[in-house]
Structure 1
């Protein structure tokens, strides 16, 4: 049988509490799971209504930040303002041949590309 969905993407973070504050407070993600795990916490977050969640994993100290996580938002100008108001540097929004986009990094260096929906 073929794979039918992507459930979770592991995002390396150095501090799960700080990551949780960023993803829920700044990006307005919801907590999907927050359970004890032998190496810390199994902590996942996602945009409301999204199928795929991000696992905020602190137990991979040698894992490099990931780049190019592509997500979507209906209002890039409002998101850019929210990010900047929270001290997050971002590039854009800018018009590209494929559409409007906004670029930013989480506090741990993981890179996001936001495409306008």
Structure 2
């Protein structure tokens, strides 16, 4: 039986509250789950309408930040302005042979590429 989808990607974060503030307050993601978990909270967020969620996991202190997750946004200039307003680290937007993109890191070093849709 083939795998049919990716449900959740785990992001290592040192502080779930700070991560939640970044993903909901800066990126405008919505909370999908926020439940007690033996090692903290099972806290997932996602862009509105997206199928795949991000698990903000604080129980992997030795897990290095991940990079290369690709997101999509219709207006990279607006995203850049929002990231700048919140003093978030980012580069771009830039026009590349494959399209327009912006790079950013969350407060814990997890890296993202955002492609303009």
Shorter-chain TM-score bucket reads over 0.9
Secondary structure, counterpart of 2:103 in structure 1: strand
CA contact (8 A) 2:80 2:92 kept: yes
What is the distance in 1 between the residues matched to 2:89 and 2:82?
A: 11
Matches within 5 A, 1:3-42: 3-42=3-42
Q: Which residue of 2 aligns with 1:105?
A: 105
What is the distance in 1 between the residues matched to 2:89 and 2:65?
A: 17
| 1:14 positional shift | 0.1
| 1:89 positional shift | 2.1
What is the distance in 1 between the residues matched to 2:24 and 2:87?
A: 15
CA contact (8 A) 2:65 2:110 kept: yes
Q: Any idea what the Cα deviations from partners look like across 1:24-72, whole Å, max 9, x if unmatched?
A: 0000000000000000000000000000000000000000000011000
| 1:74 positional shift | 0.2
Secondary structure, counterpart of 1:25 in structure 2: helix
What is the distance in 2 between the residues matched to 1:11 and 1:90?
A: 18
Q: Which residue of 1 aligns with 2:83?
A: 83
Q: Which residue of 1 aligns with 2:44?
A: 44
Taking structure 2 as the reference length, what is the TM-score of the superposition? 0.99
Give the paired residue count. 117
- The Cα RMSD (Å) is 0.4
- Which runs of 5 or more residues in structure 2 are unaligned? none
CA contact (8 A) 2:89 2:106 kept: no
